Amino acid sequence: MTDTLEAATDQSPRLPDYNARRLGFTAGVIAAAVMLLAIAVLRLLSGVQSLPEVVAEGVLVNLPGALFSAVLDSLQHAAKQLFYLAIAIGMLIVGGLLGRWFAAAPTWQRACKMVIGLWVVFGVVIYTLLGAGIFGSALSAGPVWHGLSLLLIFGVYGLALWHTYAWLAHRAMPQLPDTSRRIFLRNAAVAMVATVGLGSLWRLTIGGTVAGGTQVPTRVAAGGSTPALPPNPPPFDLKGISPEITDVNDFYTVSKNFIDPSVDAGGWKLTVDGLVDNPMTLNYDQLTALPPTEGYYTLMCISNEIGGDLWGNAMWRGVSLKWLLEQAGVHADGYKAVFSAADDYKDSVMLANALNPDALLAWEMNGQPLRKEHGYPARLLIPGIYGMKNVKWLTGISIVANDFKGFWQNQGWDDAAPYQTESRIDVPHGRDTLSAGPLSVGGVAFAGNRGIQSVEVSTDGEQTWQAAQVKPGLSSNTWQLWRADITVNNAVHDLRVRATDGTGKLQTRQSADPFPSGATGYDTVRIAVS
Is 317 a binding residue for ligand MTE by CB under 6 A? The answer is no
**Which residues between 148 and 207 bind ligand MTE (CB under 6 A)?**
none
Candidates 341, 468, 481, 492; binder of ligand MTE (CB under 6 A) is 341
Is 396 a binding residue for ligand MTE by CB under 6 A? The answer is no
Going 365 to 369 to 375 to 380, the CA torsion angle's sign is: positive
Is 343 a binding residue for ligand MTE by CB under 6 A? The answer is yes
Is 387 a binding residue for Mo ion by CB under 5 A? The answer is yes
Is 72 a binding residue for Mo ion by CB under 5 A? The answer is no
Q: Which is nearer to ligand MTE, 95 or 384 (CB)?
A: 384
Backbone angles phi, psi at 386, to 5 degrees: -50, 155
How many of the other CB atoms lie within 10 Å of CB of 439? 21
How many Å separate Cα 140 from the centre of its chain?
16
Q: Which does 256 bind (CB under 5 to 8 A by kind): ligand MTE, Mo ion, none?
A: ligand MTE
Q: Which is nearer to ligand MTE, 168 or 370 (CB)?
A: 370
Q: Which does 163 bind (CB under 5 to 8 A by kind): Mo ion, ligand MTE, none?
A: none
Q: Which does 69 bind (CB under 5 to 8 A by kind): Mo ion, ligand MTE, none?
A: none
Are β-strands 528-529 and 433-434 bridged in parallel, bridged antiparallel, or unpaired?
Answer: parallel
SS3 category, 519: coil
How many Å separate Cα 222 from the centre of its chain?
18
524-526 β-sheet, strand order: 466-467, 452-458, 494-501, 524-526
Please name the residue ranges forming H helices in 76-180. 79-102, 108-120, 127-129, 142-172
- Name 248's Cβ contacts closer than 8 Å, sequence gap at least 6: 220, 226, 314, 365, 366, 368, 371, 374
User: Quick one: which H or E segment has residue 467?
Assistant: strand 466-467
CA pair distance 441, 431, nearest whole angstrom: 14
How many of the other CB atoms lie within 10 Å of CB of 382? 29
Is 301 a binding residue for ligand MTE by CB under 6 A? The answer is yes
Q: Which is nearer to Mo ion, 266 or 308 (CB)?
A: 308
Q: Which is nearer to Mo ion, 69 or 356 (CB)?
A: 69
Amino acid at 467: A
Residues 90-119, mask of contacts with Mo ion (x by CB under 5 A): ------------------------------
Applying CB under 5 A, which part among 91-99, 116-124, 253-261, 436-444 lies near Mo ion? 253-261
Applying CB under 5 A, which part among 21-29, 192-200, 247-255, 496-504 lies near Mo ion? 247-255
Q: Which is nearer to Mo ion, 78 or 144 (CB)?
A: 78
Is 337 a binding residue for ligand MTE by CB under 6 A? The answer is no
Is 382 a binding residue for Mo ion by CB under 5 A? The answer is no
How many Å separate Cα 148 from the centre of its chain?
25
Q: How far is the CB of 300 from ligand MTE (least distance, A)?
A: 7
Is 391 a binding residue for ligand MTE by CB under 6 A? The answer is yes
How many Å separate Cα 430 from the centre of its chain?
30
CA pair distance 379, 345, nearest whole angstrom: 12
Backbone angles phi, psi at 415, to 5 degrees: -85, -40
Residues 359-378, mask of contacts with ligand MTE (x by CB under 6 A): ---------------x----
DSSP string covering 430-495: TT-EE-SEEEEEEEEEEBTBT-EEEEEEESSTTSS-EEPEEPPPSSTTS-EEEEEEEEE-TT--EE
Is 253 a binding residue for ligand MTE by CB under 6 A? The answer is yes
Q: How far is the CB of 248 from Mo ion (least distance, A)?
A: 18
SS3 category, 93: helix
Q: How far is the CB of 44 from ligand MTE (least distance, A)?
A: 19
CA pair distance 104, 100, nearest whole angstrom: 7
Is 392 a binding residue for ligand MTE by CB under 6 A? The answer is yes
Q: How far is the CB of 256 from Mo ion (least distance, A)?
A: 9
CA pair distance 37, 157, nearest whole angstrom: 10
Candidates 388, 397, 447, 481; binder of ligand MTE (CB under 6 A) is 388
Is 426 a binding residue for ligand MTE by CB under 6 A? The answer is no
Is 314 a binding residue for ligand MTE by CB under 6 A? The answer is no
C-alpha torsion angle, residues 450, 454, 455, 460 (rounded to 10): -130
Residues 299-338, mask of contacts with Mo ion (x by CB under 5 A): --x-------------------------------------
Is 68 a binding residue for ligand MTE by CB under 6 A? The answer is no
Q: Which of 320, 208, 319 is nearest to 263 (CA)?
A: 208
Q: Which chain residues interact with ligand MTE by CB under 6 A? A: 251-257, 299, 301, 341, 343, 345, 374, 387-388, 390-393
Binding site residues, Mo ion, CB under 5 A: 254, 301, 387-388
